[in-house]
Amino acid sequence: MNLDQNPSSGGRTYTCSWCGLTSEGIDLSCPACGAEVDVRAVVTRSGWTELPGRRDMAKLQFGQSYCQVEGTYVPVADMNLAAGDSVYFAHHVLLWKDPAVAVTSMGLKGAWKRMLAGMPLIMTQAAGPGHIAFSRDLPGELIALPLQHGQTIDVREHLFMVATGAVSYDWFASNVWFTTKEGDETETHYPLGMFLDRFTAQGAPGLLLLHAGGNVFVRTLEPGQSILIKPTAFLFKDTTVQMRLHIERPAGTWRSWRSWGDRYFWLRLHGPGRVAVQSAFEPLEDNGRTIVDHSGATERRW
Protein backbone atom coordinates (compact mmCIF):
# COMPACT_ATOMS: atom_id res chain seq x y z
CA MET A 1 0.00 0.00 0.00
CA ASN A 2 1.32 3.40 -0.88
CA LEU A 3 -0.35 6.62 0.07
CA ASP A 4 1.65 9.47 -1.44
CA GLN A 5 1.28 13.18 -1.48
CA ASN A 6 0.78 14.05 -5.11
CA PRO A 7 0.91 17.82 -5.68
CA SER A 8 -0.03 17.58 -9.36
CA SER A 9 -3.38 16.04 -8.57
CA GLY A 10 -3.85 18.37 -5.67
CA GLY A 11 -4.12 15.57 -3.11
CA ARG A 12 -3.27 12.06 -2.16
CA THR A 13 -3.10 9.14 -4.56
CA TYR A 14 -3.10 5.47 -3.75
CA THR A 15 -1.30 2.66 -5.59
CA CYS A 16 -2.77 -0.77 -4.97
CA SER A 17 -0.12 -3.30 -3.96
CA TRP A 18 -2.10 -6.13 -5.55
CA CYS A 19 -3.01 -4.82 -8.99
CA GLY A 20 -0.84 -1.70 -9.30
CA LEU A 21 -3.69 0.68 -10.12
CA THR A 22 -3.22 4.25 -8.96
CA SER A 23 -6.43 5.85 -7.79
CA GLU A 24 -7.46 8.87 -5.76
CA GLY A 25 -7.48 6.86 -2.55
CA ILE A 26 -10.91 8.06 -1.52
CA ASP A 27 -12.49 4.60 -1.44
CA LEU A 28 -12.10 1.92 1.20
CA SER A 29 -11.08 -0.61 -1.42
CA CYS A 30 -9.20 -0.52 -4.72
CA PRO A 31 -11.73 0.29 -7.46
CA ALA A 32 -10.05 -2.13 -9.89
CA CYS A 33 -9.56 -5.28 -7.81
CA GLY A 34 -11.44 -4.71 -4.55
CA ALA A 35 -8.43 -5.15 -2.26
CA GLU A 36 -8.79 -3.17 0.96
CA VAL A 37 -6.70 0.00 0.99
CA ASP A 38 -6.05 0.08 4.74
CA VAL A 39 -4.54 -3.36 5.25
CA ARG A 40 -0.88 -4.28 5.03
CA ALA A 41 0.21 -7.10 2.77
CA VAL A 42 0.30 -10.35 4.72
CA VAL A 43 3.53 -12.12 3.78
CA THR A 44 4.71 -15.49 5.11
CA ARG A 45 8.24 -15.96 6.43
CA SER A 46 9.08 -17.76 3.19
CA GLY A 47 7.85 -14.92 0.97
CA TRP A 48 4.32 -15.85 -0.12
CA THR A 49 1.78 -13.03 -0.01
CA GLU A 50 -1.80 -13.83 0.92
CA LEU A 51 -4.54 -12.63 -1.35
CA PRO A 52 -5.43 -9.22 0.12
CA GLY A 53 -8.53 -8.97 2.25
CA ARG A 54 -11.63 -7.80 0.48
CA ARG A 55 -14.57 -6.17 2.17
CA ASP A 56 -17.84 -7.94 1.65
CA MET A 57 -19.79 -5.95 -0.98
CA ALA A 58 -16.62 -4.36 -2.43
CA LYS A 59 -17.19 -2.87 -5.88
CA LEU A 60 -14.85 -3.32 -8.84
CA GLN A 61 -15.16 -0.82 -11.68
CA PHE A 62 -14.68 -1.82 -15.31
CA GLY A 63 -15.74 0.26 -18.31
CA GLN A 64 -19.07 1.80 -17.44
CA SER A 65 -20.00 -1.28 -15.40
CA TYR A 66 -19.12 -2.60 -12.00
CA CYS A 67 -18.85 -5.94 -10.23
CA GLN A 68 -19.84 -6.32 -6.59
CA VAL A 69 -18.23 -9.18 -4.66
CA GLU A 70 -20.68 -10.61 -2.14
CA GLY A 71 -20.01 -13.13 0.61
CA THR A 72 -16.73 -14.44 1.92
CA TYR A 73 -17.17 -18.22 2.07
CA VAL A 74 -18.09 -18.93 -1.56
CA PRO A 75 -17.99 -15.39 -2.96
CA VAL A 76 -20.43 -14.26 -5.63
CA ALA A 77 -19.40 -11.90 -8.43
CA ASP A 78 -22.49 -9.78 -9.10
CA MET A 79 -22.06 -7.83 -12.35
CA ASN A 80 -24.02 -4.70 -13.10
CA LEU A 81 -23.44 -4.41 -16.84
CA ALA A 82 -23.93 -1.09 -18.60
CA ALA A 83 -25.23 -0.96 -22.13
CA GLY A 84 -22.38 -1.79 -24.50
CA ASP A 85 -20.34 -3.71 -21.92
CA SER A 86 -20.14 -7.48 -21.98
CA VAL A 87 -18.58 -10.37 -20.07
CA TYR A 88 -17.94 -13.99 -20.98
CA PHE A 89 -17.84 -17.01 -18.70
CA ALA A 90 -17.84 -20.78 -18.47
CA HIS A 91 -21.54 -21.64 -18.40
CA HIS A 92 -21.46 -23.73 -15.20
CA VAL A 93 -20.59 -20.70 -13.02
CA LEU A 94 -23.79 -18.74 -13.74
CA LEU A 95 -25.70 -18.16 -10.48
CA TRP A 96 -28.54 -15.85 -11.51
CA LYS A 97 -29.33 -13.10 -14.03
CA ASP A 98 -31.97 -10.55 -14.92
CA PRO A 99 -34.31 -11.99 -17.55
CA ALA A 100 -33.42 -9.06 -19.79
CA VAL A 101 -29.72 -9.97 -19.99
CA ALA A 102 -29.13 -11.89 -23.20
CA VAL A 103 -26.79 -14.88 -23.03
CA THR A 104 -25.21 -16.14 -26.23
CA SER A 105 -22.53 -18.68 -26.96
CA MET A 106 -19.11 -17.64 -28.27
CA GLY A 107 -17.34 -19.46 -31.04
CA LEU A 108 -14.00 -20.91 -29.98
CA LYS A 109 -11.27 -21.84 -32.34
CA GLY A 110 -9.94 -25.39 -32.11
CA ALA A 111 -12.92 -26.53 -30.09
CA TRP A 112 -12.34 -30.18 -30.97
CA LYS A 113 -9.01 -30.10 -29.18
CA ARG A 114 -10.75 -28.88 -26.05
CA MET A 115 -13.24 -31.70 -26.23
CA LEU A 116 -10.41 -34.21 -26.25
CA ALA A 117 -9.02 -32.63 -23.13
CA GLY A 118 -12.38 -32.81 -21.38
CA MET A 119 -12.73 -29.06 -21.03
CA PRO A 120 -15.84 -26.96 -21.39
CA LEU A 121 -16.45 -26.49 -25.07
CA ILE A 122 -18.84 -23.62 -24.82
CA MET A 123 -17.92 -20.18 -23.58
CA THR A 124 -20.96 -18.03 -22.93
CA GLN A 125 -21.32 -14.30 -23.32
CA ALA A 126 -23.65 -11.83 -21.64
CA ALA A 127 -24.22 -8.24 -22.76
CA GLY A 128 -25.56 -5.31 -20.75
CA PRO A 129 -27.60 -3.59 -19.59
CA GLY A 130 -28.58 -5.69 -16.58
CA HIS A 131 -27.36 -7.81 -13.68
CA ILE A 132 -25.74 -11.22 -13.93
CA ALA A 133 -24.00 -13.11 -11.09
CA PHE A 134 -21.48 -15.93 -10.91
CA SER A 135 -20.16 -18.34 -8.29
CA ARG A 136 -18.46 -21.71 -8.00
CA ASP A 137 -19.14 -24.91 -6.14
CA LEU A 138 -16.48 -24.92 -3.43
CA PRO A 139 -15.40 -22.70 -0.56
CA GLY A 140 -12.54 -20.53 -1.61
CA GLU A 141 -11.44 -17.13 -2.78
CA LEU A 142 -12.38 -14.94 -5.68
CA ILE A 143 -9.28 -13.58 -7.39
CA ALA A 144 -9.66 -10.31 -9.25
CA LEU A 145 -6.91 -9.78 -11.81
CA PRO A 146 -7.21 -6.41 -13.53
CA LEU A 147 -5.19 -6.65 -16.74
CA GLN A 148 -3.48 -3.52 -18.02
CA HIS A 149 -3.47 -2.83 -21.73
CA GLY A 150 -1.32 -5.54 -23.37
CA GLN A 151 -0.84 -7.55 -20.15
CA THR A 152 -1.06 -11.36 -20.44
CA ILE A 153 -1.54 -14.02 -17.80
CA ASP A 154 -1.49 -17.85 -17.94
CA VAL A 155 -4.10 -19.69 -15.87
CA ARG A 156 -4.60 -23.37 -15.09
CA GLU A 157 -7.71 -24.77 -16.73
CA HIS A 158 -11.10 -24.84 -14.93
CA LEU A 159 -10.25 -21.89 -12.68
CA PHE A 160 -11.59 -19.22 -14.99
CA MET A 161 -14.85 -17.70 -13.85
CA VAL A 162 -15.59 -14.56 -15.87
CA ALA A 163 -13.75 -11.95 -17.94
CA THR A 164 -14.73 -8.64 -19.47
CA GLY A 165 -15.16 -8.28 -23.21
CA ALA A 166 -11.84 -6.43 -23.60
CA VAL A 167 -9.90 -9.54 -22.52
CA SER A 168 -9.02 -11.99 -25.26
CA TYR A 169 -8.96 -15.69 -24.54
CA ASP A 170 -6.58 -18.28 -25.94
CA TRP A 171 -5.04 -21.53 -24.83
CA PHE A 172 -1.87 -23.47 -25.42
CA ALA A 173 -0.44 -26.88 -24.63
CA SER A 174 0.85 -26.98 -21.07
CA ASN A 175 3.69 -29.24 -22.16
CA VAL A 176 3.92 -30.81 -18.71
CA TRP A 177 3.33 -34.55 -19.07
CA PHE A 178 4.73 -38.02 -18.56
CA THR A 179 3.93 -41.36 -20.13
CA THR A 180 3.74 -44.60 -18.18
CA LYS A 181 3.84 -48.10 -19.55
CA GLU A 182 2.94 -51.52 -18.24
CA GLY A 183 2.80 -54.43 -20.68
CA ASP A 184 1.22 -53.10 -23.85
CA GLU A 185 -0.62 -50.35 -22.08
CA THR A 186 0.79 -46.86 -22.27
CA GLU A 187 -0.87 -43.86 -20.71
CA THR A 188 0.01 -40.17 -20.86
CA HIS A 189 -0.65 -38.06 -17.77
CA TYR A 190 -1.06 -34.30 -17.62
CA PRO A 191 -0.59 -33.13 -14.02
CA LEU A 192 -1.59 -29.58 -15.03
CA GLY A 193 -4.14 -30.57 -17.64
CA MET A 194 -3.38 -30.64 -21.36
CA PHE A 195 -3.89 -26.91 -21.83
CA LEU A 196 -3.36 -23.67 -20.03
CA ASP A 197 -5.68 -20.72 -20.53
CA ARG A 198 -4.08 -17.46 -21.64
CA PHE A 199 -5.81 -14.12 -21.12
CA THR A 200 -4.64 -10.85 -22.71
CA ALA A 201 -6.07 -7.37 -22.36
CA GLN A 202 -6.27 -6.12 -25.92
CA GLY A 203 -7.02 -2.58 -26.86
CA ALA A 204 -8.19 -1.60 -23.39
CA PRO A 205 -7.70 -2.64 -19.75
CA GLY A 206 -9.80 -5.62 -18.70
CA LEU A 207 -10.85 -7.55 -15.66
CA LEU A 208 -10.38 -11.28 -15.14
CA LEU A 209 -12.00 -13.17 -12.24
CA LEU A 210 -10.80 -16.60 -11.11
CA HIS A 211 -12.05 -18.81 -8.32
CA ALA A 212 -9.58 -20.82 -6.27
CA GLY A 213 -10.19 -23.54 -3.71
CA GLY A 214 -9.18 -22.63 -0.17
CA ASN A 215 -6.69 -19.82 0.32
CA VAL A 216 -4.57 -18.13 -2.33
CA PHE A 217 -0.89 -17.24 -2.05
CA VAL A 218 1.14 -15.24 -4.55
CA ARG A 219 4.84 -14.59 -4.83
CA THR A 220 7.18 -12.93 -7.30
CA LEU A 221 10.16 -15.03 -8.31
CA GLU A 222 13.43 -13.27 -9.01
CA PRO A 223 15.22 -14.05 -12.28
CA GLY A 224 16.71 -17.52 -11.87
CA GLN A 225 14.83 -18.25 -8.64
CA SER A 226 12.74 -21.42 -8.65
CA ILE A 227 10.28 -23.22 -6.36
CA LEU A 228 8.63 -26.63 -6.39
CA ILE A 229 4.84 -26.68 -6.06
CA LYS A 230 2.19 -29.38 -6.25
CA PRO A 231 0.98 -29.26 -9.88
CA THR A 232 -2.71 -29.34 -8.89
CA ALA A 233 -2.20 -26.38 -6.54
CA PHE A 234 -0.96 -24.15 -9.39
CA LEU A 235 -3.23 -21.17 -10.14
CA PHE A 236 -1.64 -18.69 -12.51
CA LYS A 237 1.66 -17.18 -13.63
CA ASP A 238 3.14 -14.38 -15.63
CA THR A 239 4.16 -15.46 -19.12
CA THR A 240 7.81 -14.90 -18.16
CA VAL A 241 7.71 -17.76 -15.66
CA GLN A 242 8.92 -21.06 -17.08
CA MET A 243 7.40 -24.39 -15.98
CA ARG A 244 8.95 -27.81 -15.89
CA LEU A 245 8.01 -31.19 -14.46
CA HIS A 246 10.30 -32.35 -11.64
CA ILE A 247 10.37 -35.90 -10.29
CA GLU A 248 11.72 -36.47 -6.82
CA ARG A 249 12.53 -39.86 -5.37
CA PRO A 250 12.79 -39.98 -1.58
CA ALA A 251 15.61 -41.96 0.03
CA GLY A 252 14.91 -45.44 1.33
CA THR A 253 12.20 -46.52 -1.10
CA TRP A 254 11.92 -49.69 -3.11
CA ARG A 255 10.75 -49.89 -6.68
CA SER A 256 7.97 -52.28 -5.66
CA TRP A 257 6.46 -49.52 -3.51
CA ARG A 258 6.03 -47.20 -6.42
CA SER A 259 2.25 -46.89 -6.48
CA TRP A 260 2.31 -45.84 -2.82
CA GLY A 261 4.76 -43.06 -3.23
CA ASP A 262 8.34 -43.79 -4.15
CA ARG A 263 8.18 -40.67 -6.32
CA TYR A 264 6.65 -37.23 -6.09
CA PHE A 265 5.67 -35.10 -9.07
CA TRP A 266 6.41 -31.42 -8.70
CA LEU A 267 5.97 -28.42 -10.94
CA ARG A 268 9.11 -26.31 -10.97
CA LEU A 269 8.35 -22.64 -11.52
CA HIS A 270 11.32 -20.65 -12.69
CA GLY A 271 11.43 -16.85 -12.43
CA PRO A 272 11.25 -14.01 -13.16
CA GLY A 273 7.58 -13.31 -12.59
CA ARG A 274 4.53 -13.73 -10.45
CA VAL A 275 3.14 -17.16 -9.52
CA ALA A 276 0.14 -18.20 -7.41
CA VAL A 277 -1.02 -21.35 -5.62
CA GLN A 278 -4.27 -22.45 -3.94
CA SER A 279 -4.25 -24.34 -0.66
CA ALA A 280 -7.07 -26.80 -1.51
CA PHE A 281 -6.01 -29.02 -4.36
CA GLU A 282 -7.26 -32.15 -6.08
CA PRO A 283 -5.16 -35.27 -5.57
CA LEU A 284 -2.53 -35.92 -8.19
CA GLU A 285 -3.10 -39.31 -9.78
CA ASP A 286 -0.12 -41.61 -10.16
CA ASN A 287 -0.59 -45.25 -11.12
CA GLY A 288 2.98 -46.03 -10.11
CA ARG A 289 3.91 -47.58 -13.45
CA THR A 290 7.27 -47.18 -15.17
CA ILE A 291 7.78 -43.78 -16.78
CA VAL A 292 8.89 -44.28 -20.38
CA ASP A 293 8.74 -40.70 -21.65
CA HIS A 294 8.18 -37.20 -20.29
CA SER A 295 8.23 -33.52 -21.18
CA GLY A 296 11.89 -32.97 -20.34
CA ALA A 297 11.46 -33.49 -16.60
CA THR A 298 14.30 -33.00 -14.16
CA GLU A 299 14.85 -35.67 -11.57
CA ARG A 300 16.34 -35.82 -8.09
CA ARG A 301 17.08 -38.97 -6.13
CA TRP A 302 17.74 -38.44 -2.44
Partner 1 sequence: MTDPHLPPPLPPMPQTSQASQTSHHAADPGAPLIRLQCQWCQSMNEPGALACRTCGAPLDVKDMVSDSGWREAPRIRDMTEIHFGASTCQVEGEIVPVAEINLGQGDAVFFEHHVLLWKDDHTAMSVLPLTGGVKRALAGMPFIISVAHGPGRVAFSRDATGELVVLPLHPGQELDVREHAFLLCSHTVQYTFIRVKGLRNILFGGNGMFMDRFIASGTQGLLLLHGYGNVFERTLRPGESIQVEPGAFLYKDASVTMDVEPIKLTSGLFGGTSMNLARMTGPGRVGIQSMYVHHATE
- Among residues 282, 290, 293, 299, the one that binds partner 1 under rule CB under 8 A: 282
Number of residues that bind partner 1 (CB under 8 A): 41
Site string for partner 1, 70-89 (x = CB under 8 A): ---x----------------
Nearer to partner 1, 129 or 214 (CB): 214
- Among residues 206, 213, 271, 273, the one that binds partner 1 under rule CB under 8 A: 213
Does 176 interact with partner 1 (rule: CB under 8 A)? Answer: no
**Cα 1 to chain center, whole Å?**
23
Alpha-helix residue ranges (DSSP H) falling in 61-206:
111-116
Give dist(CA 194, CA 119) in Å, integer.
9
Does 52 interact with partner 1 (rule: CB under 8 A)? Answer: no
Does 253 interact with partner 1 (rule: CB under 8 A)? Answer: yes
Give dist(CA 96, CA 78) in Å, integer.
9
Q: Of the ranges 18-26, 37-45, 62-70, 197-205, which one interacts with partner 1 (CB under 8 A)?
A: 37-45
Does 279 interact with partner 1 (rule: CB under 8 A)? Answer: yes
Does 186 interact with partner 1 (rule: CB under 8 A)? Answer: no
Strand 160-164 to 242-249 pairing: unpaired
Q: How far is the CB of 24 from partner 1 (least distance, A)?
A: 30
Give dist(CA 131, CA 96) in Å, integer.
8
Alpha-helix residue ranges (DSSP H) falling in 142-217:
none
Q: Following CA atoms 223, 225, 228, 229 in sequence, which dihedral angle do they give, to the nearest 10 degrees?
A: -50
Q: What DSSP element (H or E) covers 229?
A: strand 226-229
- Among residues 36, 141, 154, 197, the one that binds partner 1 under rule CB under 8 A: 141
Does 287 interact with partner 1 (rule: CB under 8 A)? Answer: no
How many residues are present in the chain? 302
Nearer to partner 1, 169 or 264 (CB): 264
Give dist(CA 265, CA 300) in Å, integer.
11
Q: Of the ranges 18-26, 119-127, 157-165, 228-236, which one interacts with partner 1 (CB under 8 A)?
A: 228-236
Give dist(CA 280, CA 299) in Å, integer.
26
Residue 233 near residue 269, CB atoms below 8 Å: no
Nearer to partner 1, 39 or 101 (CB): 39
Does 283 interact with partner 1 (rule: CB under 8 A)? Answer: yes
Does 251 interact with partner 1 (rule: CB under 8 A)? Answer: yes
DSSP code at position 9: G
Residues 6 or more apart in contact with residue 27 via CB below 8 angstroms = 37
Contacting positions for partner 1 (CB under 8 A): 42, 44-46, 48, 50, 73, 138-141, 213-215, 217, 226-230, 233, 248, 250-253, 257, 260-262, 264, 266, 277, 279-284, 300, 302
